[in-house]
């Protein structure tokens, strides 16, 4: 079975500072991992995804994430926070029953609210 844990329900950074949102996963097979962002009163939007190609994945809005198998982590980073980055961020893992086919389902973490201070 697969699962994902986001460390820290709230993260606060100053504008221009580094953003680091943590995600750890559990999976007995190579995982497919996603980061989504949700702005107030909107649905979830894909930021980036890891599907076993390059371990450093670049996404939209200057975000990137690095897959580290040894640490079972997929942390999201951005070098310099903007006020517009304030939102809720979700890490998700694709599930598989047998390791050779996907179930079409995603398991989401609890979410991390990013606050950006002027």
Partner 1 sequence: ETGVTQTPRHLVMGMTNKKSLKCEQHLGHNAMYWYKQSAKKPLELMFVYNFKEQTENNSVPSRFSPECPNSSHLFLHLHTLQPEDSALYLCASTKRSGGRAVDEQYFGPGTRLTVT
H-helix or E-strand spanning residue 91: strand 87-96
Q: State which residue, 98 or 118, has the beta carbon closest to partner 1.
A: 98
Binding site for partner 1 (CB under 8 A): 32, 34, 36, 41-46, 49, 51, 90, 94, 96, 99-102, 104-106, 108-111
Residue 13 neighbours by CB distance under 10 Å: 18
CA distance 37 to 6: 13
Q: Measured between alpha carbons, how far is 63 from 59 in angstroms, rounded to an integer?
A: 5
In the complex, minimum distance from the CB of residue 1 to partner 1, in angstroms, rounded to a whole number: 14
For partner 1, which is the closer residue by CB, 34 or 67? Answer: 34
We find the least distance from the C-beta atom of residue 35 to partner 1, in angstroms, to be 10
């Amino acid at each position: 079975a697969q699962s994902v844990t986001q460390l820290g329900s709230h993260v606060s950074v100053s504008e221009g500072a580094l953003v680091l949102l943590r995600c750890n996963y559990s999976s007995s097979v190579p995982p497919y991992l996603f980061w989504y962002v949700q702005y107030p009163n909107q649905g979830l939007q894909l930021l980036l995804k890891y599907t076993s190609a390059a371990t450093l994945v670049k996404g939209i809005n200057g975000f990137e994430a690095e897959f580290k198998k040894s640490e079972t982590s997929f942390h999201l980073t951005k070098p310099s926070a903007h006020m517009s980055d304030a939102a809720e961020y979700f890490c998700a893992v694709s599930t598989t029953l047998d390791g050779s086919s996907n179930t079409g389902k995603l398991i989401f973490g609890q979410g991390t609210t990013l606050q950006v201070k002027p």
